[in-house]
Amino acid sequence: MSILQTLDGLPADFLFGFATAAYQIEGSPDADNRAPTIWDTFTHLDKKTIADGSSGDVATESYKRWKEDIALLKSYGANSYRFSLPWSRIIDFRPREGTIGDAPNPAGIAHYRQIIEELVKEGITPCVTLYHWDLPQALHDRYKGWLNRNIVDDFVKYAEVCFEAFGDLVKNWITINEPWVVSTLGYGYGVFAPGRSSDRSKSDEGDSATEPWIVSHNLILAHAYTVKSFREKFQPKYGGQIGITLDTPAYLPWDESPENVKAAQDAYDSRLGWFADPIFKGYYPESLKQRLGNRLPEFSAEDIAVVKGSSDFFGLNTYTTNLVKPKKEVIEEGAPGPKIAMKDLTAVETTFIRPDGTQLGTQAKVAWLQDYPEGFRSLLNYLWKSYKKPVFVTENGFAAKSDSGTVEEALKDTDRVNYYRGYTRALVDAVKEDGVLVKSYFAWSLLDNFEWADGYATRFGVTYVDYETQNRYPKESAGFLREFYKAQQGKA
């Protein structure tokens, strides 16, 4: 049975479309009073923080070309679009005489109102992410951003401006995208903004042994208190739903030995349960508590009452599968240094190599990604059984090696097509055969774009972007997903 014959198992209100993030596509960093973000600062440091030395200053010019991007969505048959709002364009952080600014920015609000109205007009459901890593630099300068609990109140105020400005049209809200990435890559390894780490070759400031856990705690609180505000002040007026998006690979034991089965669960606890368990269950995983001790902050009774149950759905970004073994303990000689400070950022060893020496799946252009749809199905089952919430797949995609070739070679992205064929089939099987409630599938990404620390060398888009001309060219993967979506519309 082909994938296009099985789609009648998906919910009638299933959302299917594509995802992007503001800093990765917009460009126009000064337009409509937008203030600098930590990514603007990070990409313009004297030392090379981005592989190709680039930044998001231009990106895909989507701040100017948004109508062209909506036309692409329409041509691909999407019924939904997930995009993020930039905090520093919604709120005006320019200092004013006698104040510190922080007022709603009418120009920025009007711009995104226009986009949202156009999406609705075209029959495309807007799914809005409030925070996709672009912290206003003003808040980092003022009190160290996510390292300070003051961020919670500021985030809630920003979110309330968005709810009031767009809530009549936006019914699907995501508070924060991938808090693990913010905490670990931004404050542990120092490879993402703001680039803090114990590794002094990367940063003059930072403590990888403590800061990721402080940041993650404040991210969870900011999410939860925003949801509280939404439910109390805006949901009664506008309706809608709200949640958080977490990221994880599927974790499978390297073999079925007890130590490897346990290691796979430890991996889930450290990557996913770190955030999901407090939000859906009301407490941090026990294995995380034992590993970190007093470095893991504690929730007050008042806070946990707000945190527990603070997501209407389970937002999932996932790309690959890891085989898992227990981490080998390495005794490091000499004075404490970066390796010791960062050793607890990962709980296990992961690999793509099976016990028989074969690779798990097709290798992407990036080292951390292989194609293994069976793992995706396993992960969907794990989430449904563990957290008992509808799963919204908010990102899923593949960086094909063909993207590095000529334009003609990039458009024929066979490996990406095969990836989407396998992962959409796995999703349908999880729904139809396993009974998992999955409510959305957003392919990452609508466009090739600024891929964070990789710059523009890595491409995840189903649309090829010529960065010299900003012309857009649909890849074969866009055609496959268009047929997938078209078939689902026919079954709805």
pLDDT values of the chain reduced to their tens digit, one per residue, 492 residues: 333 334 456 888 999 999 999 999 999 999 999 999 999 999 999 989 999 999 999 999 999 999 999 999 999 999 999 999 999 999 999 876 555 568 999 999 999 999 999 999 999 999 999 999 999 999 999 999 999 999 999 999 999 999 999 999 999 999 999 999 999 999 999 999 999 999 999 999 999 999 999 999 999 999 999 999 999 999 999 999 999 999 999 999 999 999 999 999 999 999 999 999 999 999 999 999 999 999 999 999 999 999 999 999 999 999 999 999 998 864 444 445 677 677 788 889 999 999 999 999 999 999 999 999 999 999 999 999 999 999 999 999 999 999 999 999 999 999 999 999 999 999 999 999 999 999 999 999 999 999 999 999 999 999 999 999 999 999 999 999 999 988 866 654
Domains, the chain, ordered by start:
15-253+310-320+368-490 (3.20.20.80)
Question: What is residue 100's predicted lDDT score, i.e. its pLDDT?
Answer: 55
Nearest to 458 by CA among 449, 446, 470, 447: 449
**Upstream peptide bond of 194 is cis (omega within 30 degrees of 0):** yes
Q: DSSP state, 252?
A: E
Question: What is residue 338's predicted lDDT score, i.e. its pLDDT?
Answer: 72
Question: What is residue 5's predicted lDDT score, i.e. its pLDDT?
Answer: 37
Cα atoms in the Cβ-side hemisphere of radius 13 Å centred on 279: 36
Which strand (E) or helix (H) includes residue 440? strand 438-444
Nearest to 489 by CA among 14, 3, 2: 14
| Residue 329: active-site member | no
The residues with which 438 forms a beta bridge, in sequence order, are: 391
pTM listed for this prediction? 0.96
Question: What is residue 335's predicted lDDT score, i.e. its pLDDT?
Answer: 47
Using CA atoms, how far apart are residues 347 and 83, in angstroms rounded to an integer? 32
- Which of these is catalytic: 395, 433, 476, 483? 395
